[in-house]
Amino acid sequence: MVPNQKENGVLRLHAGDSMSAMPNFNFQRSKHDIKHFYEWLSPEYKWSDHIGEWMEMYGDRKGAAVHRVCIIAPRSHSKSATLRVKLLHMCLFQTRNGNPMEVWLFSASIRQATNRLEEIKTDMRRHPELRKYLDERKSNKQKISFTNGAWIQATGVGSAIRGEHPAVVALDDVLAEMGDMTMDSVREWFKKVVTPMLDPETSLFCVGTPMSHTDLYQTEMLSEKAKEVWKSGVWSAFPNWDEHRANPEVELTPLWPEFRPTAFLLEQKVSMDDDLAFAQEYLCKVVDDDAQVFNRNLIRKNIDIGAHGGFDSELNDSSRFILGFDPAHGIGKDYSVLIALRQDDEGYIHFVDMWRRNDFPPDKQADVIIEWANRLKAPVAAEDVGFQRLYETVIEQKGAVLDYRPSKASNKGLKQGLLNRLRVWFERELIVFPYANADMRKKIGILLDELENHVWKNGDITDVGKHNDTVMAFAHAIDQFKPKRSDFMPMASQTTSMGGWSKNKKPTKTSRNRGSGGKYVRFGA
């Protein structure tokens, strides 16, 4: 094979060489032209305006003692790749006070951190011009050593680092997979481990996708106080999403139209089947937990990862079943929802199963109600308005006799009381969502998504989502249950002015089988 040739400092590549598809490379030019370096380094690295903005933020200290940069960006928009390229570029072409660059790279786990490091090594090994700067003898799985004395050390969030004061500290998606760590423990780690590593002229870079309003990014880097010392920004996959939602005639404009066009992003939204998840992962929006009536922390305490749910595993003589029903007003619009719940001997309410369709006329819906009610020997709870009475008539015409439990939550005040009482069941951790199989997780996920769309507004509970059919069916059913023991919570008749139960002692859970050693999973995991 004909060797590669240099002409006027430019590396010329021959056909058939692994680098033949890459642009001509000028090493000296790369020192001052990071775009040139970025595009040459890998065919997978695609420069765009937002990447140029990020590189400018990384490079502009503006006299800060500690150069702090936080970039919050959507999934699959090269935020991690851009950070890796910047770190490599600094190690090759920069020094701190004449000394080689020393970098600590933190990711969500050691596994993820070492993967990030391996990607940098791969980029270097791909090119003879860079390979010679990689000191293979001193490098290992968690460290890159450069022949010019620079190095990058990688580890996971939560690692105890003492006495290190590198030129750069980089946090790459540290919230992606925290394991047993909580948001509080990550913040504590950041304050007690990362912050003491900083010296004057240190660069602190952070990239990630938001998790909640209480995550590390929101509290330590994006708050009003933090903006005094941080250069930060939040990028959305659709910068004009809110404008489009307010006026659908406004065409969506993607952040990266060449590689993440509108059609792709909307397909991702459909495949995720979760508006809140899409808003978080791609729009970089988080719903304030304090504004949510049923926030994730409240919900996840009621998830049992060891339970399977379904009729077959739930039928027993000691259980009491109730069906909650919320009908649609027409076909093809809202959903008609039937939810089966049971209460065990200790007072816990178990989610058994759910039926949800928007293409069934009343007579076919009645067939489903009759089948479930007869199978479970369960009463049916629904809102007592004219539409529900229609179902009573249809069911009677079919010759069925059901125990119908009308709910009076037909006006705003009564509905507020219904939802407030539902929240109390969650607060007392008396609900069991079975999470051991995919089908049940999907059904429960629909309910939990709708629950998270209920927010406090001027002291009232407001639904900000597209549907709340499953929530209402669930609420109608659970409102028919009463606590089994007085030490769990007062009876439903003992209400506050808000329509909820008065405060009382929380139940003991020593005899409850949570499954999998009593461990919980984060909703959406």
**CB contact at 8 A, 356 and 348:** no
* 270 Cβ contact list (under 8 Å, min separation 6): none
Which value, in Å, is the radius of gyration of the alpha carbons in the chain? 29
Q: Is 9 exposed, middle or buried (0-12, 13-18, 19+ CB in 10 A)?
A: exposed
Of 181, 200, 234, which marks where a domain is finished?
234
Measured distance CA(210)–CA(390) in Å, rounded: 47
325 in the same domain as 223: no
- Entry pTM: 0.58
423 in the same domain as 307: yes
Order the strands of the 5-7 sheet from edge to edge.
5-7, 10-12, 25-26
pLDDT tens digits for 400-410? 888 888 886 66
Weakest mean pLDDT among 237-246, 286-295, 445-454 = 286-295
Measured distance CA(196)–CA(309) in Å, rounded: 49
111 in the same domain as 211: yes
Provide mean pLDDT across the span 362-379. Answer: 91
Per DSSP, the three-state class of 208 is strand
User: What is the model's pLDDT at position 316?
Assistant: 66
Q: Phi and psi (nearest 5°) for 488?
A: -75, -50
Domain-located, residue 430: yes
Nearest to residue 233, comparing CAs of 207, 212, 257?
207
* Higher-scoring residue by pLDDT: 517, 387: 387
pLDDT tens digits for 168-213? 999 999 987 655 566 777 888 999 999 999 998 899 999 999 876 6
Could you list the beta-strand ranges (E) of 148-217: 151-156, 168-172, 203-208
Count H helices and E strands in the chain, helices first.
18, 21
Domain-located, residue 404: yes
246 in the same domain as 230: no
Q: Which residues of 62-84 are buried (b: 16+ CB within 10 A; e: fewer)?
A: eebebbbbbbbbbebbbbbbbbb
CATH number of the domain bearing residue 430: 3.30.420.240
315 in the same domain as 200: no
251 in the same domain as 213: no
Measured distance CA(188)–CA(160) in Å, rounded: 12
User: What is the model's pLDDT at position 332?
Assistant: 63
Domain-located, residue 223: yes
249 in the same domain as 225: no
User: What is the model's pLDDT at position 400?
Assistant: 86
* 495 Cβ contact list (under 8 Å, min separation 6): 417, 421, 501, 502
Whole-number mean pLDDT of the chain? 81
Percent of the chain with pLDDT over 90: 43
What total of structural domains would you count in the chain? 3
User: What is the model's pLDDT at position 457?
Assistant: 67
418 in the same domain as 508: yes
CATH number of the domain bearing residue 75: 3.40.50.300
Cβ atoms < 10 Å from Cβ of 99 = 10
Supply the range of the domain harboring residue 366.
296-518
Per DSSP, the three-state class of 25 is strand
* Higher-scoring residue by pLDDT: 53, 387: 53
User: What is the model's pLDDT at position 278?
Assistant: 83
450 in the same domain as 330: yes
196 in the same domain as 307: no
168 in the same domain as 112: yes
N residues, the chain? 525
Cβ atoms < 10 Å from Cβ of 112 = 20
